[in-house]
Amino acid sequence: MNTETSAEMQKARDSEGADDRPPGPLRFAVVLRVAGPLAAAAWWVGALARDRNWATTFCYYFPPVVMAGVGAAWLILTRGRTRSAARGFMVLTTVAAVAKVGVLDCSWHPPPEPPAEARPFRFVHWNVARGAFRVDQVWRTLIDARPDVCLLSEAPFTPDLHDRLRSVVREGVVLVAWDMALVSRYPAEPTDRFSGSGIRAWSIRIRAPGGPFDLLAVDFSSSPFRDRRPPMFLLMQWLEARDGRVPLVIAGDFNIPRDSLRFDALRRQFRHAYETSGRGWPYSWPVPLPLYAIDHVWLSAGIQAATYRMATAPCSDHRRQAATLWIDGGAGR
């Protein structure tokens, strides 16, 4: 057999093998049909087990908004090409993801009505990402928000920080600790602070018109897969040791979604402001399409929220929290 004949035979075999392979669009369709149900199964693991352990935490951070979009796209692209069982599973998953956003994560509770003698004040918390996105716009946005008490996470530590804070609340008390900053229209003084594995927390006593309250400003590590049990243990340990007669607001960037299992112990004593008087899109990060509720305001007995809203501005990757609070019955005076 000569060399030319051998080359022709090899070329024919290669041609036959190429014909056996499915074309590109068909291969894509096969991958799509398999990937959709796999993503849905992972989402169900996260939705049901949440952050119980490392493996489920990975699935827990798969946002329901994304799952709803993936499910809808899968149903459209595979129409008429999948078995009824797979299609039914994807329909169920897509509906469940939409319900998670619209029913479970969104608040439908009517806000409490302040009594006539209440003296409400406006509290704002905002992670401003150290002013990385147009720092001048940060200050203009805060001035327009007109807070009485303003807490910043990841504050922009510029040389004129104190002056900028005083422009937000005229003649206010300015306090700074770690990368957090507070300005208050009312007398305020730091009382304590602690740090540990994945948490920094700073306590301030604020003497509002309706009575004093404590503000615990917290900042959790941003690593999404870091074990949140040690920092939550330190937080609960601090709460057990404090004087509970004075109402307490816990606010900051927790980097933990609102329905995390790690908040179970905290929920026995505190209410989330969004769940009592919040409205609108429930997620705070990342702007421009927030998918995770990781910035929180928690309220103890003795303090109430008449309103709670989150607002978006392009000068930070976090939405800011704004709540109208009042001391309930003068507790803690």
Give the model confidence (pLDDT) of 10-31 as tens digits.
555 555 544 555 555 656 667 7
Measure CA of the first residue to CA of the last residue in the chain; give whole Å: 105
At the fourth CATH level, which superfamily is domain 121-330? Answer: Endonuclease/exonuclease/phosphatase (3.60.10.10)
Average pLDDT over residues 181-200: 97
Q: Which helix (H) or strand (E) holds 198?
A: none
Q: Which residues contact 5 (CB under 8 A, 6 or more apart)?
A: none
| 301 three-class SS | coil
Residues 269 and 300: beta-carbon distance below 8 Å: yes
Give the model confidence (pLDDT) of 161-170 as tens digits.
999 999 999 8
pLDDT recorded at residue 82: 73
pLDDT grade for 321, boundaries at 50, 70 and 90: very high
CATH 3.60.10.10, the chain: domain bounds:
121-330
pTM for the model:
0.89
Average pLDDT of the chain is: 90
Give the model confidence (pLDDT) of 267-287 as tens digits.
999 999 999 999 899 999 999
Q: Which residues contact 275 (CB under 8 A, 6 or more apart)?
A: 107, 109, 258
Q: Which of 81-95, 177-191, 194-208, 229-243 has the lowest mean pLDDT?
A: 81-95
Give the model confidence (pLDDT) of 85-139 as tens digits.
999 999 999 999 999 999 999 977 788 889 999 999 999 999 999 999 999 999 9
pLDDT recorded at residue 121: 97
Q: Copy the structure tokens of residue 111.
A: 């806000």
